[in-house]
Amino acid sequence: MLKKILVTALCSTLLILGCGYWLKGLIPPAPDQQLMARTQVEDIPYLQQSPSTNDRGRILMVVTSTATMGKSGKKTGYEFTELTRPYYVFRANGFEVDIASPLGGEPPAVMDKDDMGPFDYAFLNDIVAMKKLRNSIALAEVEAEQYRGVFFAGGKGAMFDFPGNPEIQNLVASIHSNKGVIGAVCHGPAALVDITLDTGTRLLQGRRVSSFTNEEELFLIPDAEQVFPFLLESRLRSNGAIFEAGPPYLRQVSIDDRLVTGQNPWSSWQVTEAMVKALGYQPVPRAKTDSERTVEVLLSYERAGYTGGAAKIEDFFRLENGEQQAIDRRLLAMHGIVAVMQGQLGKALSIVRLLSLAKTLQHREQT
């Protein structure tokens, strides 16, 4: 009996180790950050495009000045990627861009190397862009009439110094009344709460809006209701907004005339390009990133299960102009881990199958 138990235990252990080794093989190593850190603006073809005019007006990008999450003592700030990528979309489409913050000067950034890509490192190596960031304009000094639009980047710090800020409220009201475009992503829509227009109506009353959702917030920070002044989704709803939530940690953009908002960092590209359209221009062509394609795979999975996700992967791995349209298997694996943490084992297994398919197709195309 003991021998059978020992043999069973040994076989089970080997099976678990084997599965773990197999799963690990599905996830590629992290990109070479040192190599990527040398990226310059001129290394990115998208940024070499020039629209018919480079004088389409100015856009103001606003980031938080808050470095600590309330009384928790935890460090925070603005999300670096939610500034850098929209910044370059605006620049590539012919807009001048200024950067502001409630206090001015160099605002606190949140940088996660796992999220950093060529655009983000190019920004760090961009002398002009970094000068604007390190010397951000204090909101009290901003002249709203100079800008055709305003974009509020996210980051948890925005939950503390965006809501109720009189300079932000006056800025938003002024740009709105001048037929400008207002954009925000992730926690950035915190800038839009409790704003009453000259007409006496609330800015968000009856408007379609997205932001970081309660579900996303509470998954990452279970005591978020104690850490933050409020939950952003709840506050937007109480302002009369028609809140549009997409699947957790996937792209969701809401466009309501000249108000454009996005749910999370994966919405940043599309929010900015929607703002360009709202300003009357067709965005210049931009190749999707591996992460964007991965988000599309996951959105297809949400709509049609494994079959939908697999079909999208196969579409991407067909060669276009001799170039393989790859996905980010590390990001896909992260969603699998989240599914396990949420007890969605069926979803986790489907994502493992998608990872296996992506690896097989990538190997096939490379050989």
Residue 361: pLDDT band with limits 50, 70, 90: confident
Report the mean per-residue pLDDT for the chain: 89
Report pLDDT for 14.
33
Q: Is 33 a residue whose pLDDT tops 90? A: no
pLDDT tens digits, 312-333 = 999 888 765 445 678 999 999 9
pLDDT (average), residues 145-173: 97
Residue 105: pLDDT band with limits 50, 70, 90: very high
28-32, 270-274, 287-291: least confident range: 28-32
Q: What percent of the chain has pLDDT over 70?
A: 87
Q: What percent of the chain has pLDDT over 90?
A: 76
Report pLDDT for 367.
53
| Degrees to nearest 5, angle at CA 80 with 75 and 82 | 120
Q: Is 296 a residue whose pLDDT tops 70? A: yes
Report pLDDT for 324.
60
pLDDT tens digits, 204-213 = 999 999 999 9
pLDDT (average), residues 180-194: 98
Between these two residues, 15 and 88, which has the higher pLDDT value? 88
Report pLDDT for 124.
96
Report pLDDT for 72.
85
Q: CATH 3.40.50.880: does it fit domain 36-278?
A: yes
81-95, 177-191, 347-361: least confident range: 347-361
Q: For residues 194 and 90, give the distance between their C-alpha atoms in angstroms, rounded to a whole number.
A: 28
Q: For residues 160 and 117, give the distance between their C-alpha atoms in angstroms, rounded to a whole number.
A: 28
Other CB atoms within 10 A of residue 343 CB: 9
Between these two residues, 321 and 193, which has the higher pLDDT value? 193
Burial class (CB in 10 A: 0-12, 13-18, 19+), 320: exposed
Report pLDDT for 292.
95
Domain range summary for the chain, segments of one domain joined by +: 36-278, 288-367
pLDDT (average), residues 169-174: 96
Q: What three-state secondary structure class fits 248?
A: coil
Which of 76, 98, 104 is closest to 86 using CA atoms?
98
pLDDT (average), residues 238-242: 97
Report pLDDT for 1.
43
pLDDT (average), residues 29-44: 79
Q: Is 67 a residue whose pLDDT tops 60? A: yes
Other CB atoms within 10 A of residue 210 CB: 28
Between these two residues, 353 and 49, which has the higher pLDDT value? 353
pLDDT (average), residues 50-71: 87
